[in-house]
Amino acid sequence: KSIEAVDDEVVEIILNSIDEGSLEGIDLSSNSQLTDEVLSSIRRRGTNLRSLQLSGLRNLSAIALEAFFTPIDDLPSPPMLRKLDLSHCSHDEINDAVVMLAAKASSFRSLADAVNSEIEISSSVNPENLVSEITNSLGLVHVNVSGSSISDKSMEMLAATCKSSLEELDVGFCAGVSDKGLGYL
Protein backbone atom coordinates (compact mmCIF):
# COMPACT_ATOMS: atom_id res chain seq x y z
CA LYS A 1 0.00 0.00 0.00
CA SER A 2 1.11 3.57 -0.51
CA ILE A 3 0.28 6.93 0.96
CA GLU A 4 -0.41 9.77 -1.45
CA ALA A 5 1.36 13.13 -1.16
CA VAL A 6 4.32 11.91 0.88
CA ASP A 7 6.94 14.64 1.08
CA ASP A 8 10.13 15.21 3.07
CA GLU A 9 8.26 16.69 6.03
CA VAL A 10 5.88 13.72 6.31
CA VAL A 11 8.79 11.26 6.26
CA GLU A 12 10.66 13.29 8.89
CA ILE A 13 7.59 13.28 11.18
CA ILE A 14 7.18 9.53 10.77
CA LEU A 15 10.87 8.84 11.36
CA ASN A 16 10.95 11.08 14.43
CA SER A 17 8.07 9.10 15.92
CA ILE A 18 9.95 5.79 15.96
CA ASP A 19 12.56 4.70 18.47
CA GLU A 20 16.10 5.57 17.47
CA GLY A 21 17.86 2.57 16.00
CA SER A 22 14.69 0.53 15.45
CA LEU A 23 14.38 1.27 11.72
CA GLU A 24 15.88 -1.60 9.72
CA GLY A 25 14.28 -0.98 6.34
CA ILE A 26 12.52 1.78 4.49
CA ASP A 27 10.85 1.77 1.08
CA LEU A 28 10.04 5.23 -0.23
CA SER A 29 9.97 4.21 -3.89
CA SER A 30 7.95 6.22 -6.41
CA ASN A 31 7.22 9.14 -4.08
CA SER A 32 7.90 11.89 -6.59
CA GLN A 33 7.80 14.73 -4.05
CA LEU A 34 10.75 13.47 -2.01
CA THR A 35 14.04 15.36 -2.31
CA ASP A 36 17.56 15.28 -0.85
CA GLU A 37 16.12 16.38 2.51
CA VAL A 38 14.71 12.90 3.10
CA LEU A 39 18.23 11.45 3.14
CA SER A 40 19.18 13.57 6.13
CA SER A 41 16.17 12.34 8.10
CA ILE A 42 16.92 8.72 7.22
CA ARG A 43 20.59 9.07 8.16
CA ARG A 44 19.77 10.56 11.58
CA ARG A 45 17.17 7.91 12.48
CA GLY A 46 18.41 4.88 10.54
CA THR A 47 21.42 3.83 12.59
CA ASN A 48 20.51 0.14 12.11
CA LEU A 49 19.19 0.53 8.58
CA ARG A 50 19.79 -2.57 6.43
CA SER A 51 17.43 -1.96 3.50
CA LEU A 52 17.06 1.32 1.59
CA GLN A 53 14.67 1.41 -1.36
CA LEU A 54 14.44 4.72 -3.17
CA SER A 55 13.45 3.54 -6.64
CA GLY A 56 12.05 6.24 -8.89
CA LEU A 57 13.01 9.21 -6.69
CA ARG A 58 14.10 11.52 -9.48
CA ASN A 59 14.78 14.53 -7.21
CA LEU A 60 17.76 12.98 -5.43
CA SER A 61 21.16 14.46 -6.24
CA ALA A 62 24.51 12.71 -6.44
CA ILE A 63 25.95 15.15 -3.90
CA ALA A 64 23.28 14.30 -1.31
CA LEU A 65 23.66 10.56 -1.91
CA GLU A 66 27.44 10.82 -1.62
CA ALA A 67 27.04 12.69 1.69
CA PHE A 68 24.57 10.05 2.89
CA PHE A 69 27.20 7.32 2.44
CA THR A 70 30.16 9.36 3.77
CA PRO A 71 31.23 9.52 7.43
CA ILE A 72 30.47 13.05 8.68
CA ASP A 73 31.18 14.48 12.13
CA ASP A 74 28.11 14.90 14.34
CA LEU A 75 26.07 12.42 12.27
CA PRO A 76 25.62 8.70 12.84
CA SER A 77 27.83 6.46 10.70
CA PRO A 78 26.53 5.72 7.21
CA PRO A 79 24.18 2.74 7.22
CA MET A 80 25.55 -0.76 6.80
CA LEU A 81 23.10 -1.76 4.09
CA ARG A 82 22.37 -5.25 2.85
CA LYS A 83 19.83 -4.06 0.25
CA LEU A 84 20.08 -0.91 -1.87
CA ASP A 85 17.60 0.07 -4.58
CA LEU A 86 18.37 3.26 -6.48
CA SER A 87 16.77 2.12 -9.73
CA HIS A 88 14.97 4.52 -12.02
CA CYS A 89 16.24 7.61 -10.21
CA SER A 90 17.75 10.44 -12.23
CA HIS A 91 20.22 8.75 -14.63
CA ASP A 92 23.22 11.02 -14.04
CA GLU A 93 22.77 11.28 -10.26
CA ILE A 94 23.25 7.56 -9.61
CA ASN A 95 26.89 7.30 -10.60
CA ASP A 96 30.09 5.44 -9.75
CA ALA A 97 30.90 7.67 -6.77
CA VAL A 98 27.52 6.95 -5.15
CA VAL A 99 27.78 3.18 -5.65
CA MET A 100 31.40 3.10 -4.49
CA LEU A 101 30.60 5.00 -1.29
CA ALA A 102 27.57 2.81 -0.58
CA ALA A 103 29.63 -0.35 -1.06
CA LYS A 104 32.46 0.95 1.11
CA ALA A 105 30.10 2.09 3.87
CA SER A 106 28.45 -1.33 3.97
CA SER A 107 31.62 -3.38 3.98
CA PHE A 108 34.03 -1.20 5.94
CA ARG A 109 31.56 -0.55 8.70
CA SER A 110 31.22 -4.31 8.82
CA LEU A 111 34.97 -4.54 9.26
CA ALA A 112 34.90 -1.99 12.06
CA ASP A 113 32.02 -3.83 13.74
CA ALA A 114 33.87 -7.13 13.46
CA VAL A 115 37.04 -5.68 14.92
CA ASN A 116 35.08 -4.02 17.71
CA SER A 117 33.49 -7.38 18.47
CA GLU A 118 36.96 -8.51 19.54
CA ILE A 119 37.67 -11.06 16.88
CA GLU A 120 40.55 -13.15 18.12
CA ILE A 121 43.41 -12.98 15.69
CA SER A 122 46.18 -15.51 16.10
CA SER A 123 49.72 -14.72 15.03
CA SER A 124 49.36 -17.17 12.13
CA VAL A 125 46.55 -15.19 10.48
CA ASN A 126 47.54 -12.89 7.64
CA PRO A 127 45.90 -9.49 8.37
CA GLU A 128 45.37 -8.80 4.66
CA ASN A 129 43.45 -12.05 4.26
CA LEU A 130 41.42 -11.30 7.38
CA VAL A 131 40.40 -7.90 6.04
CA SER A 132 39.43 -9.49 2.73
CA GLU A 133 37.46 -12.27 4.44
CA ILE A 134 35.58 -9.90 6.73
CA THR A 135 34.74 -7.31 4.10
CA ASN A 136 33.70 -9.91 1.53
CA SER A 137 31.54 -11.94 3.91
CA LEU A 138 29.46 -8.92 4.87
CA GLY A 139 28.16 -5.98 2.89
CA LEU A 140 25.64 -5.50 0.14
CA VAL A 141 23.52 -8.52 -0.82
CA HIS A 142 20.90 -6.99 -3.17
CA VAL A 143 21.74 -4.00 -5.38
CA ASN A 144 19.47 -2.46 -8.00
CA VAL A 145 20.86 0.52 -9.88
CA SER A 146 19.11 -0.08 -13.19
CA GLY A 147 18.80 2.93 -15.44
CA SER A 148 21.81 4.68 -13.90
CA SER A 149 25.07 6.08 -15.25
CA ILE A 150 27.35 3.64 -13.41
CA SER A 151 30.25 2.00 -15.22
CA ASP A 152 32.69 -0.86 -14.86
CA LYS A 153 34.32 1.07 -11.99
CA SER A 154 31.27 0.32 -9.85
CA MET A 155 31.45 -3.35 -10.76
CA GLU A 156 35.10 -3.43 -9.73
CA MET A 157 34.26 -1.80 -6.38
CA LEU A 158 31.37 -4.18 -5.75
CA ALA A 159 33.70 -7.10 -6.46
CA ALA A 160 36.30 -5.69 -4.07
CA THR A 161 33.90 -4.99 -1.22
CA CYS A 162 31.08 -7.52 -1.40
CA LYS A 163 31.89 -10.19 -3.97
CA SER A 164 30.96 -13.10 -1.71
CA SER A 165 27.91 -11.42 -0.15
CA LEU A 166 26.32 -10.11 -3.35
CA GLU A 167 23.44 -12.35 -4.41
CA GLU A 168 21.39 -10.08 -6.67
CA LEU A 169 22.54 -7.26 -8.93
CA ASP A 170 20.37 -5.37 -11.42
CA VAL A 171 22.29 -3.15 -13.80
CA GLY A 172 19.73 -3.18 -16.60
CA PHE A 173 19.89 -0.16 -18.91
CA CYS A 174 23.32 0.83 -17.54
CA ALA A 175 25.16 1.48 -20.79
CA GLY A 176 28.47 2.03 -18.96
CA VAL A 177 28.57 -1.53 -17.64
CA SER A 178 30.29 -3.91 -20.05
CA ASP A 179 31.01 -7.62 -20.08
CA LYS A 180 34.42 -6.74 -18.64
CA GLY A 181 32.76 -5.01 -15.68
CA LEU A 182 30.46 -7.94 -15.03
CA GLY A 183 33.51 -10.19 -15.23
CA TYR A 184 34.85 -8.63 -12.01
CA LEU A 185 32.03 -10.35 -10.17
Please determine, for residue 136, whether its predicted confidence score (pLDDT) is greater than 50: no
pLDDT digits (tens, 9 = 90+) for 83-124: 999 999 999 999 999 999 999 999 875 445 555 544 444 445
Q: H or E stretch including 166?
A: none
* CA–CA dist 169, 182 (Å, integer): 10
Q: How far is CA 93 from CA 9, 42, 78, in A?
A: 22, 19, 19
Q: Which residues, other chains included, contact 72 with Cβ-Cβ below 8 Å and sequence gap of 6+?
A: none
* % of the chain with per-residue pLDDT over 70: 83
List the CATH code of the domain at 8-118+125-183: 3.80.10.10
For residue 85, what are the β-bridge partners?
A: 53, 144
User: Which of the two residues, 125 and 69, has the higher pLDDT score?
Assistant: 69
Please determine, for residue 1, whether its predicted confidence score (pLDDT) is greater than 90: no
